[in-house]
Structure 1
Amino acid sequence: MANTIDLKRNLTGIDREPPDLYMSNGATSLLLDLLALSGSDSAIADREKEFIIWLNQRDQSVVGIGTVSFSIDEMPWTVEDFHEHKAFLLSVIDRAANKHRWSELEYVPAEESALRMLKHFRLLIDAFQLEDVDPGEYAEWSSADEGDSRPTIPVDFPKCAVHRIYLSCHGCLLCNQQL
């Protein structure tokens, strides 16, 4: 099994630009780890933190390997702050490509592969446009389930004491890999 990141759901045709990003399970974990490290240090506004938490929820250690494919239009975009958050995500990717906190990982990232995936992910984010936003995605993702002891967006945006990345409803993306 593997994972795919594409621009939009239900977009068909073999000439998609940019093309889908296909990754092995290990490569997917690497990409998400790098984005978690970079994004957790970059996020200031609550909505920026939410984007990083959304990415951290794609935790294969918890939800299963090969099951975290997604489309860019499924991310928690809103029309009101689209341009700010697109710029934020692009800066997170750029910071990750500059090897921000790579040395803190429990493994040595395959540099060429990591940079190639980050570049491709950046192309997908850059190609995503305001008219592609589905406000229902954010509304559905961010709505609290009554009585949920592990809310989708953890209260007060806690970070892992060890890895200093934002926790998702699944806990710490990096700690979970060590279990």
Structure 2
Amino acid sequence: MGNVFDGAGDSLSMSNGGTAVFVEVLWLAVSELASRPWDFRFASLLALQDQNVMGRGAVGFDLADIDWGDTPSERAEAKDFVLRVVDLALQRHRWDELGYEPPYAPTYLEHFRAMVGAFVPAPLPAGAAGDVFPGPAMAVTASCVPHRVLNALPHWDGCIFCTTGSVFPPSPQAAANG
């Protein structure tokens, strides 16, 4: 069983393990870049891709189901944020802290980036908002101190590394301070 992310007439299908890695490397990047309310809503959507909570083979989304915004400028800003998240992940942001080498992650990220780049966001039809993309009240805004990333609150207590029981190492500053 695997997971599928759709958009722009294309699909990114990954095994459960591939999906876990894809979400982890995106989580490191989104945690670094999120600053606006929409950014934290997108982070919340990524949190909902945690198979340790949602179930293996039970995650994925379609770019068309995301509330990209009501105006062309809102949609462009949201799309730019997602592209910046993927670009930061492609730069291997904090991958050295994962404790493993994700050899297929660049291929998954490049495929997803091409999908997002080709996707033309449109306003959601009336009544469709909230079905897939978390609303403002469900935005992920808390921090997971041990892992130095966003926490998955209000969905569950802990970040995607907490749910795996990760031994994600402490920051160099925390290690130096004992």
TM-score range (shorter-chain normalised) is 0.7 to 0.9
TM-score, structure 1 normalization: 0.80
Q: Which amino acid letter does the alignment assign opposite residue 153 of structure 1?
A: A
Taking the aligned partners of 2:85 and 2:100, their CA distance within structure 1 comes to: 21
Aligned to 1:27: 18
Q: For residues 134-155 of structure 1, what are the alpha-carbon distances to aligned partners after superposition, in whole Å with 9 as ceiling and x for unaligned?
A: 46454453165xxxxxxx335x
Aligned to 2:40: 49
Q: Which amino acid letter does the alignment assign opposite residue 107 of structure 1?
A: Y
Task: Report how many residues are paired.
Answer: 159
Residues 1:177 and 2:164 aligned together: yes
Q: Which amino acid letter does the alignment assign opposite residue 88 of structure 1?
A: F
Aligned to 1:102: 95
Deviation, 1:29, is 0.7
CA contact (8 A) 2:37 2:136 kept: no
Give the alignment of 1:118-129 within 5 angstroms.
118-129=109-120
Change (3 A) 1:103 1:153: same
What percentage of residue pairs aligned between the two structures are identical?
33
Q: Name the structure where helix makes up a greater proportion of residues.
A: 1
Taking the aligned partners of 1:83 and 1:117, their CA distance within structure 2 comes to: 23
Taking the aligned partners of 1:56 and 1:76, their CA distance within structure 2 comes to: 16
Q: Which amino acid letter does the alignment assign opposite residue 175 of structure 1?
A: C
Taking the aligned partners of 1:79 and 1:42, their CA distance within structure 2 comes to: 22
Aligned to 2:170: none
Give the alignment of 1:66-105 within 5 angstroms.
66-80=57-71, 81-105=74-98
Greater shift, 82-91 or 67-76, is seen at: 67-76
Q: Which amino acid letter does the alignment assign opposite residue 164 of structure 1?
A: R
Q: For residues 62-84 of structure 1, what are the alpha-carbon distances to aligned partners after superposition, in whole Å with 9 as ceiling and x for unaligned?
A: 11000002111223422231100
TM-score, structure 2 normalization: 0.80
**SS of residue paired to 2:13:** strand
CA contact (8 A) 1:73 1:134 kept: no
